[in-house]
Structures are given as structure tokens and as C-alpha cells.
Amino acid sequence: MVKHVELARRNKQFTLTSWQTQNGWRPVSMARADDVYFWDANGKRYLDWSSQLVNVNIGHNNQQVIEAIQAQAAKLTYAMPSLATEPRARLGELLAEITPDGLTKSFFTLGGADAIENAMKIARLVTGRQKILTRYRAYHGGTFGAMSAGGDPRRLANEPGVPWIVRLHDPYAYRSPLYDGRTRDEGDQALIDQMAETIEYEGADNIAAVLLEGYSGTSGIIQGEEVYWRGVQQLCDQYGLLLIIDEVMSGYGRTGKWFGVNHYPWVKPDIIVMAKGLTSGYVPLGAVVVSEQIAAHFEENVLWAGLTYSAHALACAAAIANIQVYRQQDLIERSAKMGQVLRAGLVALAEKHPSVGDIRGTGLHQVIELVKNRDSREPFSPFNQPMTEPMQKVAALLLANGMSTFVKWNWIFCTPPLIINEAQIEEGLSIIDKALMLADAYTEG
Ligand SMILES: Cc1ncc(COP(=O)(O)O)c(C=O)c1O
């Protein structure tokens, strides 16, 4: 045990971790990784059921990507962003190809949060308007503006945040009172009606853009359906608001399409923000991809944005190689197919375990919501509260049985790498099965 314990001790002694007290940090170590697994410093194997931070979409230790990074490093590692490079040009071309029609030019960042910052800045520069509409149940990153834009309660530590964010309520059909006594479609419509009211109250002339995740992620995979998305597009058209779609988590095959928003072909984003699966974490990179009209605006107007590491050559090379891997291995289709296998397994678990209240998501982007009581829907751990005993035990058992994933409040996230096969999905489901058995003991009624 000494190897792992010693590594954790040195990490804790000399470095700070995120989103928790330092005392509460009990890190698992990670010494090497391959395919959908990683190993700690003692050699214990974990099934990576979350693709780390839902970013290692192509899986670990992909030789094609590693060799592309090595080849780029041997040629050119860094050029300042005002210079032209081959990997930057090629990646720009590829992003124009794979993003929805009309999106033509990319601005490169280091990750998701700074891409969100720049997308909001671009929307405000282009429109000359100030406000951005976002959702309460959303996460857009940990920098100051992005943290304000996200409604995720982590932002409460950052209040009042930037003053020009206005938050909308969410299509949380399982819990929102707006859906009580209504069909799913009626609830979605009620939410859109409320959004129209908000736009009127805030003054459409003050609103630059609506910012939404293409497919909701870390806030609980809370997704509106067709009525919702048609309504959003219609309101953007009616009031002349730009639509920024955050695909940081939902992009790159996560939901069985290239981008979450591809599930709604009538939605026309003006800006798409991406990171995570763009490079699957092999090198940090984010991008803001804008429409032809927005790009045209900056032909004559200064783009007041810049980063020393924008369009880093190694990161661009990693992204190009990733896109080749997605294409060559048909990973987008594979996610849709394996997603059905995963979903069927989760439905079977829900039938067996009274602690399962809801299952949401699509593709390899699913979440299980655990409840004390299926009728009252009382969660095991309430929103924004420390995890209660049953959820702590569930999390500990998953880990002990060799599964690494997110357990947050009363949710277990199921977002494995897109290369996962049926046997590995079975392996994951059987670990979750045991944890749910433990949770069942805490149910009532
Ligand atoms: C939807 C979404 N947007 C933005 C971000 C922020 O990305 P990053 O952590 O790379 O800054 C995240 C991170 O989880 C995310 O899920």
C-alpha cells in the first residue's frame, strides 16, 4: 500500500485540489491507463465509467493520437497565435466540416471555461447588447464569467458574479413543479412561455444571447425535448438573440451524434463551444466556432480576445488525430449503439431496484437518479447538500469494486469512453447492481 499512500501524501502536501476542502480530498492514484481502464500506483485496476471528466472519449493510450502529438512535437511545438501554422489551418477546416452548417471559423482556447468566456464576449461584441440568458441547472466552467453563467450551485461561492447573466428554469420533468399535472410536451411549452416572459421583462434589446448546453451534462442530464428546442430557436429568431450552444461535454459523440444539438436539426446555433472530446484530454484545447455572419463582423471590427496558447500546435495536432480516430473507428455511431446496450441494462436495473427513481440521457451519456421513495421521489441526497450515508456508501462500494465514476448528490453518472464494448458495459452494470442493492436497503415504502 505504501506506493499509493505515499503518492497521495505528496500530492496533498504540495498541491491544491478543486471543488472541495483539502482535508476532504482522498485521492485515488492513477499510474497508467489503457482502453477503458486505469491502474493505481499499487496496480489496482479501475473501469473508467466516467471517461475521467467526461472527456477521454476515444479511450486511454490511443497510439495514433500519441504518435501524432510526437510527430508534431518533433516539427514545431509552439507558434504565437498571430502566426499561421499547418495544424491550426487543418483543424479549422475540420471543425467547419463537422459542426452544423453555417459555422465556419474557429477561435482556439485552452479548455471549456475560457472558450465560454470568449463566446460570451464575442456575442456581446457583435450585438452590442449586454445580457446572456443561461439555465440554473447548467455548468459552463470554473473561471469567473463562466462560473457566473453556470447555474450549478458552485457559483454561489462566486456571487454576485458578473451582473449581466439572467438565469432560466430547467426542463427537469422529474422534479420541476412546472411539469406537475402536465404532459412532457406541455411542461416544455410552459417553460418556453416562461422564457418568453423573461425576455420581455429583461428587455430583448439588452440581451445578446441565450447560452445552453447542447445536451445537459454535469447538472444532471436534464434535457428539454422537441417542443423545448423548437421554442428556444423560435424565441431567438423572434427577438434577434444569438444562440450559443455549449458542447464541451455533449460534443464528440457523447450522445450518439457529433454534437448534442445534432439531435435537433432545426436548431441553428450561431456559436458552438467545445473542448473535452475535441482532444479527449491528450493535450488541453477548446474552441469557439462561429457563424459566417459573426466571422464577417470581425473582418472590420477588432476581436478583443487573446491567449498566449491559443491554437497551440501540439493541441491542434492532437485534435486532428482525434477527429481521424472518431471517423475511422465510427465512434459516433458506436456511441449510439453501445448507448442502447447501456440503456437497456440500466432499465433492467431500474426494474430490479426500488432505489432507482429515474434514468436519463442518450448514447453513452446517462445518469441514474436514486430515491428513498419512488412515490414521493425523495432523493437520497438533496440538491447542493453533502452526500448522505447511503450515497457515500454507494460511492465507496463502486470504488472498492473497481469502478471510477461521478457520484454527485443522488446521481450516478454513466459516461464511459466511446470505445467501450458490450462485455465492459456488462462489467460496469454488475458493479452498479451491487451498489444499488446496498441503496435498496435504505428505501422506504
Ligand atoms: C458543459 C460544460 N461547459 C464548460 C465546461 C468547462 O470546461 P473546462 O473544465 O475545460 O474549463 C464543462 C466542464 O465540465 C462543461 O461540462
Nearest in space to 406 (alpha carbons), one of 416, 383, 352: 416
Contacts of 6 (CB under 8 A, 6+ apart): none
Nearest protein Cα to ligand 1, atom 6: 141
In whole angstroms, what separates CA 69 from the centre of its chain?
24
pLDDT at position 231: 98
275 CA closest ligand 1 atom index: 10
Residue 439 pLDDT > 80: yes
Please report the pLDDT score of residue 35 as a whole number: 98
In whole angstroms, give the CA distance from residue 366 to residue 300: 44
- Ligand 1 centre to CA of 109 (Å) is 12
Q: What is the CATH number of domain 31-58+330-440?
A: 3.90.1150.10
Q: What grid cell was written down for 120?
A: 460570451
Which of 445, 395, 354, 442 lies closest to 49, judged by CA? 395
Give the 3-state secondary structure of the chain. Answer: CHHHHHHHHHHHHHCCCCCCCCCCCCCCCCCEEEECEEECCCCCEEEECCHHHHCCCCCECCHHHHHHHHHHHHHCCCCCCCCCCHHHHHHHHHHHHHCCCCEEEEEEECCHHHHHHHHHHHHHHHHCCCEEEEECCCCCCCCHHHHHHCCCHHHHHHCCCCCCEEEECCCCCCCCHHHCCCCHHHHHHHHHHHHHHHHHHHCHHHEEEEEEECCCCCCCCCCCCHHHHHHHHHHHHHHCCEEEEECCCCCCCCCCCCCHHHHCCCCCCCEEEECHHHCCCCCCCEEEEEEHHHHHHHHHCCCCCCCCCCCCHHHHHHHHHHHHHHHHCCHHHHHHHHHHHHHHHHHHHHHHCCCEEEEEEECCEEEEEEEEECCCCEECCCCCCCCCHHHHHHHHHHHHCCEECCEECCEEEECCCCCCCHHHHHHHHHHHHHHHHHHHCCCCC
**If phi over 0 gives left and psi between -120 and 50 gives alpha, with beta otherwise, what is residue 311?**
left
Instruction: Report the pLDDT averaged over residues 332-347.
Output: 98
Ligand 1 center to 43 CA (angstroms): 30
User: Using one digit for the tens of pLDDT, what is the confidence trace for 42-86?
Assistant: 999 999 999 999 999 999 999 999 999 999 999 999 999 999 999
Q: Smallest Cα–Cα separation from 123: which of 240, 232, 231, 264?
A: 240
Mean pLDDT on 306-331: 98
Query: What tens digit of pLDDT does each residue of 384-428 get?
Result: 888 999 999 999 999 999 999 999 999 999 999 999 999 999 999
Q: pLDDT category, 151, cuts 50, 70, 90? A: confident
pLDDT tens for each residue of 97-145: 999 999 999 999 999 999 999 999 999 999 999 999 999 999 999 999 9
The rounded distance, in Å, linking the Cα atoms of 355 and 185 is 27
User: pLDDT category, 2, cuts 50, 70, 90?
Assistant: confident
Whether the pLDDT of residue 1 is over 80: the answer is no
Q: Round to whole Å and give the CA distance between 117 and 147.
A: 10
Q: Which of 341, 358, 369 is nearest to 256 (CA)?
A: 341
Ligand 1 pocket list (CB less than 6 A): 53, 111-113, 116, 139-141, 213, 217-218, 246, 248-249, 275
Q: Given this model, what pLDDT does residue 192 score?
A: 98
If one counts every other C-beta atom within 10 angstroms of the C-beta of residue 77, the result is 12
Q: What is the pLDDT of residues 260-282, one digit of tens each?
A: 999 999 999 999 999 999 999 99
Strand pairing category for 103-109 and 131-135: unpaired
| Confidence class for position 351, pLDDT limits 50, 70, 90 | very high
pLDDT tier, 382 (very low <50, low <70, confident <90, very high otherwise): confident
Mean pLDDT of 336-361: 98
Separation between Cα atoms, residue 280 and residue 268, nearest integer Å = 26
Q: What is the pLDDT of residue 152?
A: 86
142 CA distance to ligand 1 centroid (A)?
A: 8
Per-residue pLDDT of 174-193, as tens digits, reads 999 999 999 999 999 999 99
Q: What percentage of the chain exceeds 90 in pLDDT?
A: 96
199-208, 263-272, 378-387 — which is least confidently predicted?
378-387
For residue 112, give the ligand 1 atom closest to its CA: 7
The residues facing 103 across adjacent strands are 291
Domains 31-58+330-440 and 63-328 share a fold: no
Burial 119-146 (b: 16+ CB within 10 A, else e): bbbbbbbbbebebbbbbbbbbbbbbebb
Closest Cα to atom 4 of ligand 1: 140
CATH 3.40.640.10 describes domain 63-328: yes
- Residue with the smallest CA separation from ligand 1 atom 16 is 249
Cα(441) to centroid(ligand 1), Å: 35
**Domain map (residue ranges) of the chain:** 31-58+330-440, 63-328
Write out pLDDT tens, residues 10-20.
999 999 999 99
